[in-house]
Amino acid sequence: MADRMLAEYPSEAAIVHAIHRLREDGYVDIEAYMPFGSHVVEHALDRPRSRLPIAIFVVGICAALGAYLLQWFLVAYLYPLVVGGRPPHFPLAFIIITFEMGILFSGFAAFFGTLGLGRLVRLVDGVQGTPGFDSATRDRFWLEVSMRDPAFDPERTRQVLADAGALRVEIPEGSP
C-alpha cells in the first residue's frame, strides 16, 4: 500500500529549492534522502538538534560510576588483600578503569543510539527498490512527501515536485 511520493533532484541546491517550495505550500511531513550529510539540506528542513548526545553522556557517567563501585566492591570489600602496603580502597588506582569504562560504554551508546534512532538494522524499508532510488547514495537527492500530509494531493504534489525541478517522481509500492 503506497504511502509516500518520492522525487529525485540533481543537486543540493535543487532539493533545497524544492523543500522551500513545499514548505511555502504548507507541506510539513517531508523528508530528504542524500548521498552525504549536507548541512544545507538539513538546515532547509530545519529539524531540532539530536538528543543523542545527552543519552550518551548519561550512559557514560553511569558506566564510570558502576566501574568504580565494582572495583571497590571486589578489591576493598569482598576480599581485601594487602599488596605493597597499599590500602584496600585505593582511589588513585581505581581511576583508570573507571575512565576507560566510561568511554567504552559511551561508545556503545553512541553507536547503538544511532542505529536505534536512525531506524537502522533492517534490509527493507519503504523506499528501497524504488526505480532509480539507488542514486540516493551516490549523487542524487531525493525528496519524500508523505501521503498522510494534510496538504498532500496526488496530482498537485506531483506537479509541485516536478516544477521544483525533479528529474523524476516515483511512488514506491508500500513498505512492509
Partner 1 sequence: MTTRKHDRLRVLSSEPAEPEFSPGVDEPPSELDRREMMKLLAAGAGLAGVGSLAGCMEEPRERIMPRVTNPPELTPGVPLSYATSMVIDGFATGLLVQTYEARPTKVEGNPDHPASLGHTMTYHQASVLDLYDPHRARGPLEAGTPTMLDRLLRNIARREPMTGLWFLMHPQSSPLLADLIAAVRQRHPGTRFAFHSPLDRRQVYEGARLAFGRPLEAQYRFTQADVVVSLDADFMGAMPNSVRWAYDFAQRRRLHGPGGQMSRLYLAEPRPSPTGSLADHRLPARPSEIALLAQALLSAVQGATAPSGNLTPRQQRWVQAAASDLGSRRGRSLVIAGDRQPAAVHAAVHAINQAIGAIGSTVAFTEPAILEPLGDGLPELASAMQSGQVQTLVIVETNPVYTAPPELDFPALLAKVPETLYAGDMLDETARQCQWFVPLSHYMESWGDARAYDGSISLIQPLIRRMYDSVSVWELVAAFAGDEQPDGHRLVRQRYADEAADAGLLTWQKHLQLGVIPNTALPPQQVSAGAGAAPPQLSGAGSSFEVSFEESPSVYDGRFAANSWLQELPKPHTKITWGNAAVVSPATARELGVGNEDVVRLVRGAFHVDLPVYVLPGHADRCVTVELGYGRSAGGPVAEGVGVNVYRIRPPSPASHASPVQVIATGGTQRLAYTQKVFDQHGRDIARYAEAAFYQAQPQFTEAQRGPLPSWLPEFFENNYQWGMTIDTMICTGCSSCVVACQAENNIPVVGKKGVIDDREMHWLRIDTYREISGDDVEFIHQPMLCQHCEKAPCEYVCPVYATQHSPDGLNEMVYNRCIGTRFCSNNCPYKVRRFNWFDYTEDTPKTKQLQFNPNVTVRARGVMEKCTFCVQRIRAAEIVARRERREIQPGEVATACQQACPTGAIQFGLLHHNGTNVVEWRKEPRAYAVLHDLGTRPRVMYLAKITNPNPELDD
Partner 2 sequence: MIHPLYPHWSNTVYRAVIVAVLLGLASLVLLPWLYVRTTYNTNQFVPWDQPVEFDHRHHVRDDGIECLYCHSAAERSPSAGVPTTEVCMGCHSQIWSDSPLLEVVRRSYFSGKPINWRRVHDLPDFTYFNHSVHVARGIDCVNCHGDVGSMARVVQVQPLTMGWCVDCHRAGTQHIPPPNVPRDSWEASLQMLGDEPARNRDVTLLTTCTACHR
Partner 3 sequence: MSKALLIGRPTDAALGDQLLGTTWRRGGRTWWIVFAISGALTLMLFSLITYTVVTGIGVWGNMIPVAWAFGIINFVWWIGIGHAGTFISAILYLFEQPWRTSINRLAEAMTLFAVLQAAMYPVLHLGRPWFGYWLFPYPSQMEVWPNVKSALPWDAAAVSTYFTVSLLFWYLGMIPDLASLRDSAPTRRRRFIYGLFALGWNGKATTWRHYRAAYLVLAGIATPLVLSVHSVVSSDFAIGLTPGWHSTIFPPYFVAGAIFSGFAMVLTLLIPVRHIFKLHNVVTEKHLENCAKLTLVTGLIVAYGYITEWFLAWYSGNASEIYQAWIARPLGPRATVFWITMICNVLVPQLFWWKRVRRSVLALFVMSLLINIGMWGERFMIIVQSLQREFLPSMWSSYAPTWVDIGIFVGTMGFFLFLFLLFLRLLPVVAVSEMRELRHDLERGVEHG
What is the spatial distance between Cα 8 and Cα 26, in angstroms, rounded to a whole number? 20
Q: Which stretch binds partner 3 (CB under 8 A): 21-29, 66-74, 151-159, 165-173?
A: 66-74
The residue whose grid cell reads 529539524 is: 47
Give 146's strand partners: 4
DSSP label at residue 136: G
Residues 6+ apart with CB under 8 A from 146: 3, 4, 29, 30, 31, 152
What is the spatial distance between Cα 22 and Cα 14, in angstroms, rounded to a whole number? 12
Residue length of the chain? 176
Cα angle 127-171-134, degrees, rounded to a multiple of 5: 40
Closest to partner 3 by CB, 144 or 156: 144
Closest to partner 2 by CB, 50 or 114: 114
What is the spatial distance between Cα 145 and Cα 69, in angstroms, rounded to a whole number? 51
x/- track of binding to partner 3 for residues 18-47 (CB under 8 A) = -------------xxxxxxxx--xx--x-x
Give the shortest CB-12-to-partner 2 separation in angstroms. 27
Closest to partner 1 by CB, 36 or 79: 79
Residues that bind partner 2 (CB under 8 A): 79, 121-124, 128-129, 131, 176
Give the shortest CB-100-to-partner 3 separation in angstroms. 4
Give the shortest CB-157-to-partner 3 separation in angstroms. 19
What is the spatial distance between Cα 112 and Cα 171, in angstroms, rounded to a whole number? 31
DSSP label at residue 124: -
Say which entry of partner 2, partner 1, partner 3, none residue 85 contacts (CB below 5 to 8 A, set by partner kind): partner 1
Q: Is residue 103 helix, strand or coil?
A: helix
Residues that bind partner 3 (CB under 8 A): 12, 31-38, 41-42, 45, 47, 49-50, 52-53, 56, 60, 70-71, 74-75, 78-79, 81, 83-84, 86, 90, 93-94, 96-97, 99-101, 103-104, 106-108, 110-111, 113-115, 117-125, 127-128, 134-139, 142
